[in-house]
Amino acid sequence: MRLTAIKLAGFKSFVDPTHIPIVGQMVGVVGPNGCGKSNVIDAVRWVLGESQAKQLRGESMQDVIFNGSGTRKPVSRASVELVFDNSLGRAAGQWTQYAEISVKRVLNRNGDSSYYVNNQHVRRRDLTDIFLGTGLGTKTSYAIIEQGMISRIIEAKPDELRGFLEEAAGISKYKERRRETESR
């Protein structure tokens, strides 16, 4: 699955609707300190189901909602949508058949949070399931390599290292399903 666009609104510093097309094999995000480069990465992590505010450099999850600036009032909701090219049919489960997949997460200040896949309201885990075995999952994702990640892999305990390898080999989705079946 290839990411083709990131759409944000009310997310951190991206108060106005912003469409970031991801074109070609390599895209660089450049800009002065504090302009929002890392916020774009936070947005990707967030929509993929990140549930720890700390991972997104905040205290609480509501911190991802634009909280105002010198010239703008805070807004009441944040939304991020990722558009993927799925022409190779790599998305797991019922979504395999769609050539394009859009995943979206919306959070209101009152704490209401919703997830959508191709504009269908889904549970968080329906969304995260799509990415099992693609390397984009939240648990053992290796699609986002941040500072400190390389040393985490080098210093990983055998179990954790095995998790990375299983995700890369595409077998983690089967293990996850077995775990589910066994727990029923």
Q: Are 101 and 46 in contact (CB under 8 A)?
A: no
- Closest distance between ligand ATP and the C-beta of residue 63, in Å? 5
35 assigned to a ligand binding site: yes
111 binds ligand ATP, rule: CB under 6 A: no
Residue 180 interacting entry, from ligand ATP, Mg ion, none, C-beta within 5 to 8 Å by type = none
Residue 14 interacting entry, from ligand ATP, Mg ion, none, C-beta within 5 to 8 Å by type = none
Residue 84 interacting entry, from Mg ion, ligand ATP, none, C-beta within 5 to 8 Å by type = none
CA distances from 163 to 18, 124, 137, 154, 158 (A): 35, 21, 11, 13, 9
Radius of gyration (C-alpha) of the chain in whole angstroms: 17
Measured CA to CA, the distance from residue 138 to residue 145 in angstroms comes to: 12
38 binds ligand ATP, rule: CB under 6 A: yes
Q: Are 66 and 99 in contact (CB under 8 A)?
A: no
Strand partners, 65: 11
Among 4, 18, 20, 37, which residue sits at the site for ligand ATP (rule: CB under 6 A)? 37
Cβ closest to ligand ATP, residue 40 vs residue 127: 40
Contacting ligand ATP within 4-23 (CB under 6 A) = 12-13
Q: Are 115 and 128 in contact (CB under 8 A)?
A: no
Cβ closest to ligand ATP, residue 63 vs residue 146: 63
Q: List residues binding ligand ATP (CB under 6 A).
A: 12-13, 31, 33-39, 63, 65-67
